[in-house]
Structure 1
Amino acid sequence: MGFTLFLNYAISIIELLLFILCLSAIFFYCYGIYAAIAFFHQPQTINSAFHPPISILKPICGVDRDAEQNLASFCQQDYPEYQIVFAVRDRQDPGIEVINKIIQQFPDLDIQMVVSDRIIGTNLKVSNLANAVTAAKYEIILISDSDIRVGEDYLQRVIQLFQDENVGVVTCLYRSLAQGWVTILEAIGTACDFHPGVLVSNHMEGIKFAFGSTIVIRRQALEAIGGFAAVADYLADDFQLGYLPAQAGYKVVLCDYIVDHVLASSTLAEAIQRQIRWARCIRVSRPWGYVGLLFTYGTVTSLLLAIATGGSIFGWTVLAITWVMRLLMGWLVGVKMLNDQVAKKYFWIIPIRDLFHFAIWCSGFIGSTIAWRGQKFKLIEGGKLTADLAKS
């Protein structure tokens, strides 16, 4: 009799906790919708007279999907003065052939290619950037990954926020162009889960991080944090290039310009490995923030509540409300606000993606070893990489 009472009590506590998690997720979905509407409906003005020269740094390693089209989009800017510096580590890198084509296509544009195998840290992309910045002429530096594609108004739009002299870093959201069902799942997660979280953070306290899709940084802000050497041993170098300037007193601002991220085809194993790598990186970089993600997994917790209550009307009602709000947030942010065509076409798989990502989130709590570019590394506190396992 006593055991039965204890068991019933334990079940009631579990159901209550699951219900609280569902409520927190619903609140998050509502806030995500509100934050997105507030952000994208801000009045936008373009001062065409404000166009300081910009140095664009492009780290290159191999050939991405649609590489030539992606890189060429940065050469077609409706902007009076800018340069592009491509940086490559290996003289045998196939990306050099693409860069040479770009240089031939745009002979009147200030384009340079820096080939150097100098290494300043564990993250070789950052070494590439450190080599590229030696050729940068201007005080405003723009860093963008090689798989990003932009429109002709990109530079004019992202530079506007620098009219405020306190702004040290500007970054952008992105929408993914995906091929294959594996990368479609990733694209759905970016548009309908990751970006709503970013917009919530931005609305609540402003952002203190950046994305590799676009990092526009004042040279003085970069120098204030110690240059690229300060982020050379971090896996999430883009995060640090926003976080460290914020710690140094500079404002980090999110621009409303949305760039395109061209995802390469990927196998399921590669996608899982990549997602677990980033999950572990977030966990060691922001441990409490990582734990707090539990309060946003309403798709999962409402399903568990329905099961725990034995399929009761209450359980199914909570699940229905939670899933409707989850889908509504995904639709409004991913489809309406970001205009993400992948999210629009495959909107219905959001619950499947959420279940998949919850499993990834759980896996992220275990271990600190990651595989990256064919090597093994260990993540330590703060998200730094140590190469002591590189040859294991």
Structure 2
Amino acid sequence: MHFPYLSTDKLAQMLLIPDDYSAWLQVGCYFLLLMLCIFAIGYYSYGIYAAREFFSQKTQINADFHPPVSILKPICGLDIDTYENFASFCQQDYPEYQIIFGVRDENDPCVDVVKRIIAEFPNVDISLVISDRTIGTNLKVSNLANAQAQAKHSLLLLADSDIRVGTDYLRHIIQPMQEPSVGVVTCLYRPLVRGWVAILEAVGISTEYHVGVLVARKLEGMYFALGPTIAIRQTILAEIGGFAAIADYLADDFQLGYLPTQIGYNVVLSDYVIDHAIATASFADLIQRQTRWNCCTRVSRPWGYLGLIFTHGTAISLLFLLVTAGASVGWLMLFLTWTTRLILAWVVGVWGLKDQVARKFLWLVPVRDLVSFALWCYGFMGNTLEWRGRRLRLIKGGKLEAIAPDVPKLT
């Protein structure tokens, strides 16, 4: 048996003197990293299979199925092209729907944009709800609950403020609701970006995050939803306890998918792809956002978070190359791992999502993977986070707990 990083004398010494823990540690690292590389290649290969299966399906549109829909849009501050994003929802090829914008502060800059939208689309049923009523720590959920009070229809569609859609969006997204067993519909998204940091984040979304979604869907089915778009029946929302049941969770989208499955309903991942504006302006913003979600995953599903090590093949194969001191086996594993990873990134980001950012910056995938690995490691530390200027603490199960600001002592 030959280990490229060990000399023959060292190996012999190790075998003859079992107390040489250093040598045993080297052997352990060698085999551990090798197995992790093999598992990563398997994960990437399965991801290619899952993506090809998903993107090859096409939803059949039933022209006679178009139940009225109430769209709830929680808003807070301005995003990239806010007007264009909002306007895209007012141009739907759909017979009956309403749009309800929910905001906490009447002085929020989004309010003027919504008023302009209302004036320019008089034929669309649009309303603005301004209310600071709070039902939990997650203020976005409070906005949704406040908007729901004006919903006229039994079918709700929750849509983030930073997404843009085509005219066929509603007709397409609602199709799975023809089946009574379907309780929730969600969809993937394509990033819209400005600036290098946003590009780096976008590459990760298209070629890493969505890979995880597709693999999970194929392996165990959909037990979660994705925040930018969630369609849910009002009756089902009521069955799970309404928005109050998720008002203290950071991952409210996950809960809106998970809880309905626990009472017998299915979650469907639509093949419709929306556009999502990425407003990350600095590397610090990227780290803060990614750390927030990493910590949430770790607290909510600690074993699942630890298992993500099997998805970090880019970094692991590089470590294996270093451990083998540049031996041929190290280069071989690096080549196989990185090649499979890039094929997967192309299949999901370029071929599947039709993401022009992923097409143009596919070469950034290894860089983004190394950043993701570093942030995954960092995610094991601490439970406090910053979110829209608020300091919060994650507690067991992924719930949020507000951290009171320091009050100066009176002297």
- TM-score, normalised relative to structure 2: 0.93
Q: How big is the shift at 1:91?
A: 1.0
C-alpha spacing 1:204/1:390, structure 2 compared with 1 (3 Å): farther
Q: Which runs of 5+ in 1 are unaligned?
A: none
The answer as to whether partners of 2:59 and 2:172 remain within 8 angstroms in 1 is no
SS class of match (1:46): coil
- Looking at structure 2, the residues matched to 43 and 376 of structure 1 have their Cα atoms a distance apart, in angstroms, of 43
Alignment partner, residue 28 of structure 1: 43
One of 68, 72, 76 as aligned partner of 1:57:
72
Q: Deviations over 1:48-83 (max 9, x none)?
A: 100000000011111111000000000000001100
Q: Is the Cα–Cα contact under 8 Å of residues 384 and 394 in structure 2 kept in the other structure?
A: yes
Kindly provide the amino acid, as one letter, of the partner of residue 73 in structure 1.
S
Are residues 1:137 and 2:152 paired? Answer: yes
Structure 1 equivalent of residue 161 of structure 2:
146
Q: What does residue 223 of structure 1 align with?
A: 238
Deviation at 1:151, TM superposition (A): 0.2
Partners of 1:356 and 1:388 in 2: how far apart? 29
Residue deviations 1:124-156 (CA, integer Å, cap 9, x gap): 111110000000000100001000000000001
- Alignment of structure 1 residues 307-386 onto 2, 5 Å: 307-386=322-401
Cα deviation 1:206-252 (Å, max 9, x = unaligned): 11111111000001110011100011111111111111111122111
Residues 390/126 of structure 1: CA separation in 2 closer, same or farther (3 Å cut): farther
CA distance in 2: counterparts of 1:26 and 1:229, whole angstroms: 42
Q: What's the counterpart of residue 291 of structure 1?
A: 306
Match status 1:41 vs 2:56: yes
Alignment size in residue pairs? 392
SS in 1 for 2:67: coil
The equivalent of 1:177 in structure 2 is 192
- 1: CA distance, partners of 2:345 / 2:386: 31
How far apart are the structure 1 equivalents of 2:191 and 2:246? 26
**Cα distance in 2 between the residues matched to 1:365 and 1:75:** 43
> 2:107 aligns to what?
92
User: In structure 2, what residue type is equivalent to 1:116?
Assistant: S
Cα shift at 1:3:
7.7
Cα drift, residue 390 of structure 1: 4.8
C-alpha distance after superposition, 1:317-351 (max 9, x if no partner): 01100000000000111111001111111100100
Give SS of 2:403's match: helix
Q: Is the 8 A contact 1:376 1:391 kept in 2?
A: no
What amino acid maps onto 1:51 in structure 2?
Answer: H
Contact 1:36/1:199 (8 A) holds in 2:
yes
Distance, in Å, in 1 between the alignment partners of 2:54 and 2:372 is 26
RMSD, matched Cα = 1.2
User: Contact (CA 8 Å) 2:72, 2:147: kept in 1 or not?
Assistant: yes
Alignment partner, residue 3 of structure 2: none
Q: CA deviation at 1:44?
A: 2.6
Would you say the 8 A contact 1:67–1:146 is kept in 2?
yes
Give the distance between the partners of 1:193 and 1:94, measured in 2 at CA.
33
Letter in 2 for 1:354: D
Aligned to 1:76: 91
Q: Which residue of 2 aligns with 1:246?
A: 261
Measured against aligned partners, the alpha-carbon deviations of 1:350-379 in whole angstroms (never above 9, x if no partner) come to 001111111100011111011111111110
What's the counterpart of residue 111 of structure 1?
126
**Which amino acid is the alignment partner of residue 186 of structure 1?**
E
Aligned-partner Cα distance in 2 for 1:281–1:239: 11
Residues 248-302 of structure 1: per-residue CA shift (max 9 Å, x gap): 2211110000000011141111111111111101111111111100011110111
Q: Could you tell which deviates more after superposition, 42-51 or 22-31?
A: 42-51
Partner SS state of residue 172, structure 1: strand
Name the amino acid aligned to 1:18.
L
- Superposed CA deviations along residues 72-125 of structure 1, whole A, max 9, x for unmatched, are 000000001100001111111111100011001100111111111111111111
Q: Structure 1 counterpart of 2:230, which letter?
A: I
Distance across 2 between alignment mates of 1:106 and 1:221: 31
Q: For residues 150 and 405 of structure 2, what CA distance do their matches in structure 1 show?
A: 31
Structure 2 CA distance, aligned partners of 1:213 and 1:124? 16
CA distance in 1, matches of 2:199, 2:105: 32
Q: 1:303 aligns to what? A: 318
Question: 2:58·2:271 contact (CA, 8 Å) conserved in 1?
Answer: no
Partner Cα separation in structure 2 for residue 43 and residue 268 of structure 1: 38
Q: Is 1:125 matched with 2:177? A: no
Unaligned 5+ runs, structure 2: 1-12
Which amino acid in the other structure matches residue 147 of structure 2? A
**Structure 2 SS opposite 1:186:** helix
Q: Is the 8 A contact 1:378 1:389 kept in 2?
A: no
Letter in 2 for 1:371: E
Amino acid at match of 2:148: V
- Please give the TM-score of this superposition, normalised by the length of structure 1: 0.98
2:7 aligns with: none
Task: Return the offset for 1:388.
Answer: 3.2
Is the deviation greater in 240-249 or in 69-78? 240-249
Output the amino acid matched with 2:115: N
Shift of the alpha carbon at 1:9? 2.5
Letter in 1 for 2:208: D
